[in-house]
Amino acid sequence: MSKKKVLIVEDEAIIAMDIKNRLEKIGYVITAMVYSGKDAIKNAGHNHPDIVLMDIMLGGGMDGIETAKQINELLDIPIIYLTAYADEKTLSRAKITKPFGYILKPFEERELHSTIEIAIYNHDLERKLKESKKWLQAALNSIGEAVIATDKNGIIKIMNPYAQAITGWKEEEAINNPLEAIFNVINGDTGEKVEDARAKVIREGIFYGLACNSILIGKNGNKIPVDIIGSAIRDDRNKIIGVILTFYDISERKPFGSK
């Protein structure tokens, strides 16, 4: 396994050298020790370290928090803050940059080591999660079926392009809204609103069809015959954490008004 690379951003040379010596002793590679935010941004872009140790109170221009903000905007590198200041105002500013750790000076070698390892591990998990979401989104966008997914409370979290086309609702309009506000289905034979799809999934786990003649009322009032499949999204303990609906426009197969 390759050694992890660390960029040290610390404007006190003695402290920076102490950190460097400690980290090299336990197997890290130090890409550089820099003393200003400007140099930190330049070095991070050039050497692509696995992690940045950032002193919050840098002198001579931008502080560590502003430097971290700019690194976050340009590069996907986790940052750990090193500081002797832990006041609420400083912490609030630091939180905005979403650091992967926060160590108060003076610190022990073991604390430094464990914080770096946890930060790198969590960053790797976060990166894999982002990649998985991109793969999922690409898959949902490419299939020829309409898909809407909600959380356990029926709040829409995913809506693919085909679902947007059928319902007439854009994803940005639908996301974080209740399912019933977007997915309006009636019984084409009686004109009555069908059972809530989320409630039926939670009760049955999976269903095929909400009515014998399900009609989706689009945003513009269009009435579209649809087939609907609902199923539960479960966590690793088999607990329902959401609902996914797959539906199809069957106008060509069964025009509205036909028996």
Do 197 and 242 share a domain, yes or no? yes
For residue 255, being part of any structural domain is answered with: no
Boundaries of domain holding 57: 5-137
**Residue among 41, 37, 33 nearest 14 (CA):** 33
* C-alpha–C-alpha distance, residues 23 and 258, integer Å: 75
Q: What angle do CA 242, 246, 249 make, to 5 degrees?
A: 150
Rounded CA Rg of the chain? 26
| pLDDT tens profile 133-147 | 787 777 777 777 899
CATH value at residue 129: 3.40.50.2300
Classify residue 205: in a domain, yes or no. yes
233 shares a domain with 175: yes
The verdict on residue 259 lying in a domain is no
- 108 pLDDT band (50/70/90 cuts)? confident
What CATH number is associated with residue 219?
3.30.450.20
Q: With beta carbons less than 8 A apart as the criterion, state whether 37 and 59 touch.
A: no
Instruction: Judge whether 215 and 186 are in contact, CB under 8 Å.
Output: yes
Q: Is 60 exceeded by the pLDDT of residue 257?
A: no
Predicted TM-score (pTM) of the model is: 0.66
Element (H, E) at 151: strand 146-151
> Taking 90 as the threshold, does the pLDDT of residue 53 lie above it?
yes
Phi, psi of 112 (to 5 degrees): -60, -45
Q: Assess whether 9 and 108 both reside in one domain.
A: yes
Domain end, chosen from 108, 137, 166, is at 137
Out of 77-86, 114-123, 182-191, 200-209, which region has the weakest mean confidence (pLDDT)? 77-86
Using an 8 Å Cβ cutoff, are 146 and 244 in contact?
no
Judge whether 81 lies within some domain: yes
* Of residues 229, 235, 188, 242, the one with CA closest to residue 212: 188
**60-102 pLDDT per residue, tens:** 788 889 999 999 999 989 999 988 876 788 788 888 888 999 8
| Higher local confidence (pLDDT), 192 or 106 | 192
The total number of structural domains in the chain stands at 2
* Residues 66, 47: Cα–Cα separation, whole Å: 20
Q: Of the residues 97, 118, 137, which one is the last residue of a structural domain?
A: 137
